[in-house]
Amino acid sequence: MGRASCAAPVAWQPDGHEIERVIEVPVAALLEQGCFRVEQWERAGVVRDVYFYEYGDTTIWGATARILKQYLDIVEPE
């Protein structure tokens, strides 16, 4: 199989319906004490963990926080 390549840098275009804005966060900031919290939310009778990361005045949550949690669990296991 051949390898895919891009002739030019990719210009990211966020979908305004899916995200509020794009931010860059250093991984070290996400690993700081007190940056992360978990809340239990109930929906349709099912209780689920909802993850939150605080960075400056920004709260990262939802699918983005779930993805970050999975990544950070791999690169910085307890």
pTM of the model: 0.74
Domain boundaries, the chain: 24-58
Rounded to whole angstroms, how far apart are CA atoms 15 and 22?
10
Q: What is the mean pLDDT of residues 63-75?
A: 93
Q: What angle do CA 13, 17, 20 make, to 5 degrees?
A: 75
Give per-residue pLDDT as tens, 6-47.
677 877 777 777 777 888 999 999 999 999 999 999 999 999
